A and B are shown apart, each in its own frame.
Chain A
């Protein structure tokens, strides 16, 4: 058990520093872990809430009085879930070799540099003055770029795409995400109308009796 955890963590670390190699191992030799991926995603969501409140006052312009941690958490986590699902639906049509769990692993593992930068930001921003804020922004920026690079590399490897094809697939992913959101909203609106219709029929019924 301990050995397995150690191995999974080792490949997480390897994915950060050698994304192509590590994602190859994860995809073809089963070195990744869905549980670990989910934990990272959840941690990321929680850290976003923490960052909303505990980033230092000097660079924190969020309105703390109206903070809603559940909304923040769900916005970030569901955003990535939406990305994963729509990427899967696009790449399935475009001969992508990766399956849903592979995409989940790649996406979550890629969040690690961003998460680390976020922790750094939350901590350091409490001890800086306005003139030094640039340092924090730069570090966060590096984290985001690193994460994006990992994501691109990982998706290339698991889908066995070239670079151009990968970019095209990601663009289509956003289109697919928009369609999914549209369908979702449509679905909920229709359900709401149906429920309201049933309720009013019921009320009518009760009043006539």
Chain B
């Protein structure tokens, strides 16, 4: 018998190998034919501190974390501070068990490592009574002892996986394969022994009274398990980007790392530099010299990029920047997701913004929109920004391998060759009219690259004449400004004329109520819309990606078609709703907000509840840690 979905949570301390173990287990589930989705919760701490990874696996598509979970593997925190003493921060060792109980569903399973978590502590938790009340099935096992017996203590994760597989009646084949890929020799042998020993012990010695089993499924095509950060990095590679400059900062570091590791084999260049001002300035410099370049950071680091970003706008230097949001302001909560940098990204840097901003909502969109960002940036000569967050950055899901089977696009867009430069307009002294507003098309004036014959010009952050020389002439100013802004209108038309929209829709087209979201909250909204419709409500959803130039037509059409709409976003001041109203200038009375900013992403049930409170039972208060912001005038 298999179950509808498994949501397996592996919990331990930072440094306990939770990431790699969960990655492999997720892959094993994927290889068995299931769709998977991971969610990572971790503190800003290298050793110790309660951390977990949740894997949701089902025989159907999963695009979000679930509501709660149904299987806990609590390893205990082997890096706990002063575990033997009565420390003021409490007993950290047991937190991977105690901190996770509230969200465990009825009938769920718990395995905990009694080799690390003491019996006394468990008694103090009152676990037995709670288990009875909730119908939990609890399996204490000495995972540490078992690992020590056959290998080393750190292999206790393997023991936990073996026990998990036994309880779920999963085949060990895929897990063994993955272990063989990752290790060899004595280490592999010891791990395999531990895996089987744990599996057999559970199978032979425990009574199974639980219903939960691993779901069964199959894929028609080969699947790859990857994160939003992988997808952004791969989108950049396929767009022909071969230059990245950066400074480490969570969570943007993931993309920086992936590209730094891959570029040397691809003839690319990665530069880790002194600060984010330099990082963005390097990307601008590299692009100016003729390569497809990118940089990026997270909130605070991106703040330092404001000036080079403006320089790229004014000098019309194509560049792609990415910003991985985390909870702010200031250092905020470095390892927690939030969607609160939208206004920062749209408007940072002095003067009128002349940039493109995309907010992908899924891993596939992260890939597509990164490619698109490069295409647009080089065609239209302006900075294009991908705004995402800690959630999308770190979550893994399975994608069709074939999805990536496409042609690379290294083309430099509106850049001229020497041959073309010979035909291009020059001034009397022979200087190339790099910023020529006279025959610009869609606002775009063609560029040359230093070293090209006949292409010399001056790029400057000052307002400038067609050859790039500083100019404060009013007519020139207006002509240049209008030309640069015309590019944004052209991009909007370009995007609107494409076959597939960058906005994503779900639910019934004729529905009365709408839910609008953006970025990484998309998956949870999609699932919530489905559940609401199943429950008899009439709801549809849109997830918006085009922040600038704003998806005006798509969103207008959506809002005109519904009576009311709820805007779902992970911040406290309803930034996206503000953008909507600024861009569209109406609909204020139709829009309410569901806001969450406690550091945890939305669960679908919270959105369902938010909808009900908002539109159905207005007297009710939400039980989740969210805030509802009424419509304008309410």
To the question of whether A and B form a pair in one complex, the answer is no
